[in-house]
Amino acid sequence: MSDLENVPPSGRHPQDPAGTQPRYDPEALLPAEPVPDDVVDAEVVDEREAERGDLLPARRSSGGLGDVAPAKHSTYAPRFHFLTGALMAVGLAAIAGLVLFILLPGNSGSSDSGVKNWSSWAPSTDGQAGAQQIAEHVGVQYKLPNGRQIVNVGVTGLEIQGVPLAVAVRKDASQGGAIKIFNDAGVIYHLCGLGQSCAIDSGKPSIERGLLLRREALELALYTFRYLGDVHQVLVFMPPPKGKTPTQALFFREGDVARELDRPLTASLSPRVPTVASMTGSPDAGLVQQITSPKTFDFSLTGDQTSQSGYIVLDPPTDQTTSSGSSSSGSSSSSSPNGSPSSGATTTGSGP
């Protein structure tokens, strides 16, 4: 047999006794017509795995990459995005506001009582200078019926001629007569008329005028406690009746007016200072009477030779007229702030 007889028909390979050639002709497996685009272009898969259905070829485009469908978004997504942004903005604004509040002067983050804009006017917070400004600001607002200022308001520290003073409050004998010493930082306001020994030199003494002066003392104390943080007690020396020397004082501790310091000044005292004639009819007359009556004392001075200091001794008033604002000599009762008689206050002398 010739070599040509061993050549297989066209497209065939010679027999492969060793088994190194495929059993089928690869070209015979190709389709006779072009493959449409939608036919799966798959990777070669092991026949056994294909038969088990473990792997399925993925549909691919003619470029070799699968068609990826766009992700479906919820119709509520824009709303959620808006709400998230709004909440973040509110949170940042709150944090910024808190930082500003802490950093602003007077806002140390502590429990310092008081409200913003406590009063429309504010003094310096610098000790003696602030107290002097308070004295001048309050003093000019209280006037006699003739339109003149009732008293000049002077101010000093708790000292007399360089001698430091403490406040000694002595209770009445019926209450045990105990003495309590207060040596906190404080100021003394002197209400001094232009008459002899600081007496008021014009006008007539009256219940209304006495109550108006006590209102002035209360306002001085409120401004002092609110703006002078180092001051914890205020003494106000009142003007005496004509022909007498000063013996009456009002004594305030910061805690005595804590409620008034926690709300605007206009919530305690009327924005417009009443006149002498309108004082008992003023909306704040009752509050003035309530706060100042138990804070009215007779005062005297005494020295302590052992400590080179002194005491302002405060005793319950012996003249109930001055403690209630009355000055009508010979009367057996005084009037309450609303003008009605009130018992328990005999008039044995004349007031400011």
What confidence tens digit (pLDDT) does each residue in 40-73 have?
Answer: 454 544 555 545 555 455 555 555 445 555 555 5
Complete DSSP assignment for 191-224 = EE-SSGGG---SS---HHHHHHHHHHHHHHHHHH
- Return the pLDDT at 90: 64
Q: Which two tokens stand for residue 24?
A: 């089928």
pLDDT at 92: 72
Distance CA 144, CA 142 (A): 7
Residue bearing tokens 């309050």: 138
* Cβ density class 314-337: b for 16+ within 10 Å, e for less: bbbbebbbbbbbbbbeebeebbbb
- Tell me the pTM: 0.63
Hey, which of 84-88, 164-168, 326-330, 347-351 has the most confident mean pLDDT? 164-168
**pLDDT given for residue 318 in this prediction:** 86
Highest mean pLDDT: which of 24-28, 35-39, 229-233? 229-233
Task: Report whether pLDDT(343) > 50.
Answer: no
- Between CA 139 and CA 148 the distance in angstroms is 11
Residue 190 has pLDDT above 50, yes or no: yes
Quote the CA–CA distance of 91 and 48 in Å, as a whole number: 61
Confidence of residue 30 (pLDDT cuts 50, 70, 90): low
Q: How confident is the model at residue 323 (pLDDT cuts 50, 70, 90)?
A: very low
Give the whole-angstrom CA distance, residue 339 versus residue 352.
18
Question: Is 199 a residue whose pLDDT tops 90?
Answer: yes
What CA–CA distances, in Å, run from 330 to 7, 21, 156, 348, 350? 158, 145, 36, 7, 9
